[in-house]
Amino acid sequence: MSSTSRPPSRKERGPSGAAVAVRAARYGAFVKTEIVRSQRRRKTIAARMVGDTLRVMVPTGLSAEEEEHWATVMADRIALKTRSDHVDLTARAGDIAAAYDLPVPSQIRFSSRQRQRWGSCTPATGTVRISDRLLECPPWVLDYVIVHELAHLLEPNHTDRFWELVDRYALAERARGFLLGFEHAETR
Ligand SMILES: [Zn+2]
């Protein structure tokens, strides 16, 4: 609540009173974002939805470019989260397990911690993690990684038998090529 009598700004204001910008996140999503400079000596960047606006809390002392960078990063992240909510990994893994006669994982979910790998599995518990970077890839590439991780539930190592299992997926070779190119583009 503002207690001043200044005329309202023409710029849209967020719940905190900070200026709201609409940022284009990945996948054509548009995210209403406001930047709030922390009063306290907060060193980390944080963001949360307040109504329909993503409030990005940044430390004071960042340059305008740095603030813009972090607002965009956070907008991307929330867009990614929204998108991952729309992918039913459990159903997808179930279909793939049935089609390729592979084990059904006890649990499969997206992880944002998988920055170096596309997926991981723990054969002992039957759990599978899929990097949420795959939400930026076509569905047939995501399916390849699911096939790959489910095959690991049978065969933990990259043995000949493992690749025989995986290469039954018709687009396996293309998907590996896609992922190599994607990784290259990402790390440039
Ligand atoms: Zn592997």
Q: For the chain, how many structural domains are there in total? A: 2
Residue 45 within a domain: yes
Ligand 1 centroid distance, CA of 27 (Å) = 28
Give the C-alpha separation, 13 to 4, whole Å: 15
Say yes or no: 67 and 111 in one domain: no
Say yes or no: 126 and 50 in one domain: no
What pTM, to 2 d.p., does this model score?
0.68
Q: What pLDDT digit, counting tens, does each position of 43-98 carry?
A: 788 899 898 889 999 998 899 999 999 998 898 888 877 777 788 999 999 999 99
What pairs with residue 33 in β-bridges?
Answer: 21, 54
Residue 1 within a domain: no
CATH code, domain with 170 = 3.30.2010.10
Say yes or no: 43 and 98 in one domain: no
Ligand 1 centroid distance, CA of 111 (Å) = 16
Ligand 1 centroid distance, CA of 80 (Å) = 24
Three-class secondary structure of residue 62 per DSSP: coil
The range of the structural domain enclosing residue 54 comes to 10-84
What is the gyration radius of the CA atoms in the chain, in angstroms?
21
What pairs with residue 128 in β-bridges?
Answer: 108, 121
Residue 158 within a domain: yes
What pairs with residue 49 in β-bridges?
Answer: 54
> Is residue 19 within 8 Å of 13, Cβ to Cβ?
yes
Q: Which two tokens stand for residue 160?
A: 């000949």
Say yes or no: 26 and 62 in one domain: yes
Ligand 1 centroid distance, CA of 114 (Å) = 13
